[in-house]
Chains A and B, each alone.
Chain A
Amino acid sequence: MTRLRFSTAWVRLSDTLRFALWGLLSRPVRSATVVGSLAAGVAAVVLAVGIIRGYGAAAERAAYGVYARSLVIRENVYSLDRYGPPILSDIPRLQDAVEFVDTILAWRMARVAARSDELSGEVDVFGVYGDHRIETGMEVAEGRDLSYEEAGSANRVCLLGEEAAERFFPGGALGESLSLGGISCEVIGVLEPSQARTSDRFDRAVIAPFTAAARYFQPTEYMAPDEASWMTVVIGPGGDLHDARVAADRTLRRARGVPMSRPTPYSYDDPGAPRRAVERERALLGALLSAIAAVSMLAALIGYSGVLMSSINERSREIATRMAIGARTRQIVRQFFAESLLSGLAGGGLGGLVGIGLCITLARIWDWEVVIDGQIFLIALALGLGSGAVCGLAPAWRVSTAMPWHVLRQ
């Protein structure tokens, strides 16, 4: 009994598929029109999605994540009063006064003369107080990172950016000693290449502990040893950049004794701004492309459902004949529904392939960034299948519920 039921279900399914395939293949031109019109719309959607996602990936790289929520504090070079750059002892003050502070990094940067056994030349030395990775986003590829203690110490150790390591030590930098401003310094690690545009300056540079940099590698008459070229205040979730800026300014004014009537002694930059601009641009472009893709898809759907409908009308005599020789309404509906699902699947698949091909071509010719993967193809298939289901059901139903005689006697 179960076996019997299973086998009739199988006969029904295989016949439905067979008749649907027959319906498509026995009218190749018509089927090609149906599939092609749907494929055009799906390809437009796939192209738009590929470009939007490519833009997103580019925006991602426009700035390393941490900059999205940080303030960079520097000396205000436009102010006539001189109070000097921010100093290390400002860090605890800011931590107390600014809400939602995640961490604060202090940096000191100078260009110094460097010399290895192979080469001598100038190099940027970044002295860091705190975990440099928060700002650079770069892990150590070889050797080890600065430890927490080292970062606060004056140990004569350093990390080399990838290009700097290649430049000064073509045979391998690890454990070698690099002379910085005449003081020798051990290379304990080489960094991996930068991921974000904002950190590619570290590729050509040396990173050393803040105090060691200030004391040995970049001593200068213009900067005291506790002065920082800039400080990066990273605001945690829930914090507001504007509030943080107001609080930081009030704290630093109080520490320096600068009344509100005077210009602020420091500048507070928001390095996330360009990234946010890119994202705004992306949203705009995304909306535009989505609108174009939606219009193309709509046009394709109108064409697709039109051809589907007229092909079913054209076949109404065949349908009436089938009804006369024993087909039930639901068998006819099932056959035509399966037919439109198949054509939808074919249209979706073809459109997916064409769209992906267009994306690849764009990427090749104009050097655009696009993102394509299996997911986008699945979206294309689903789009085709959905269109087939929506556009196929109505005409199949309409045609099979009429009394067959009205069609047959013509």
Chain B
Amino acid sequence: MNWVIHATNLNRTFRHGHEQTTALCDVALSIPPASMTVFVGASGSGKSTLLALIGLLDRPDTTSQLRIAGRCALTMSSHDMAEARSELIGFLFQDAKLIERMSVVENVALPLAYRGIDRKTRERRALAWLERVGLASRARLSPCKLSGGERQRAALARAMIAEPKILICDEPTAALDEGRASELNGLLRDVASGGTAVLIATHDPAVIERADQAYLLDRGRLAQVQGGDALRDCGLRNMAAVWSHRQSAGGV
């Protein structure tokens, strides 16, 4: 199998003086391309930490092994990591993180600027993506004029404009109502079908319904979700119900 992400023995320990927090412990994980993977778990269980490592925004402990699109993350310099982020990875954060003083279309086009693409081309491609996420009419506005759902869709367009192999979403729907969330989930599903490995950390049962695979993080330890019981044991009752329903309907 040709994994986009392949991790074994992945660890991340934070040190504050003499105190140590083990945010991730012996994580093993393999993600195929064109898939939608969901990470669930209580707050503080390490979801964001894991996504930051996979997204090359942070470095794992030196004993870990992590390969992104075949490249070893541990031996990368900061510059290599930036290079790989630019080429391989898109991000969608809970709070969109649009740059407020730029228009929506400039925000979406920004990743292409860092790849040395000229202004006309990147604007054209940004407008095409805004069209796809249904924001063509909002292109010239400042991001602060957008609603929460629109901001997330703009952020999705920005994450996808450079056609990354991996899309990392950290609680993308946490601040959205049900309708907006389901809109965004539909778009994420499309992205996964388009060939990108989509990784989502979420508390949203609706996401898990559409996922190809689900992982449960419990105090830094990762386990693949097989049946609903593991979810229920972690207090994720709604998710357990969705998962069980999905399995009985013949999913996965």
Contact = CB atoms under 8 A, between A and B. Distances in A.
A409 to B, nearest CB: 6
Nearest to A26: B101
Given A11-B117, A328-B86, A409-B52, A318 B99 contact: yes
Contact of A11 (B58, B90, B97, B118): B118
B111 A325 contact: yes
Interface stretch (B38-46, B75-83, B198-206): B75-83
A327 B59 contact: no
B125 interface: no
Nearest to A15: B113
Interface residues of A, number: 30
Contacts of B111: 325-326
A7 interface: yes
B55 A403 contact: no
Nearest to B57: A405
B180 interface: no
Nearest to A409: B48
Given A7-B118, A327-B82, A329-B78, A403 B101 contact: no
A12 to B, nearest CB: 6
B114 A331 contact: yes
A323 B82 contact: yes
B125 to A, nearest CB: 14
A8 interface: yes
Contact of B93 (A11, A26, A408): A408
B114 A408 contact: no
Interface string A322-341: 11111111110000000000
Most buried by B among A19, A326, A328: A326
> A324, A328, A401, A403 — which one has the most chain B CB atoms within 10 A of its CB?
A324
A155 interface: no
Contacts of B57: 323-324, 403-405, 408
A331 B83 CA distance: 11
B110 A328 contact: no
Given A22-B101, A321-B99, A323-B82, A328 B58 contact: no
B102 interface: yes
A405 B116 CA distance: 24
A332 to B, nearest CB: 9
Given A22-B101, A325-B110, A325-B111, A11 B83 contact: no
Contacts of B58: 403, 405-406
Interface string A104-126: 00000000000000000000000
Interface string B55-71: 10111000000000000
B59 to A, nearest CB: 7
A404 B51 CA distance: 13
A393 B82 CA distance: 20
Contacts of A403: 57-59, 78
Q: Which of B52, B102, B117 has the most CB of A within 10 A?
A: B52
A404 B113 CA distance: 19
A331 B55 CA distance: 19
Interface string A366-410: 000000000000000000000000000000000001011110110
Nearest to A14: B119
Interface string B100-124: 0110000000110111111100000
30 contacts: A8-B116, A11-B118, A12-B116, A15-B113, A321-B97, A321-B99, A322-B114, A323-B57, A323-B82, A324-B55, A324-B97, A325-B111, A325-B114, A325-B158, A325-B159, A326-B86, A326-B114, A326-B115, A326-B162, A327-B114, A328-B86, A328-B114, A329-B78, A331-B114, A403-B57, A403-B78, A404-B57, A406-B58, A408-B97, A409-B48
Interface of A: 7-8, 11-12, 14-15, 19, 22, 26-27, 317-318, 321-331, 401, 403-406, 408-409
Given A322-B114, A324-B57, A328-B114, 6 more contacts: A11-B119, A324-B97, A325-B159, A326-B86, A330-B79, A405-B58
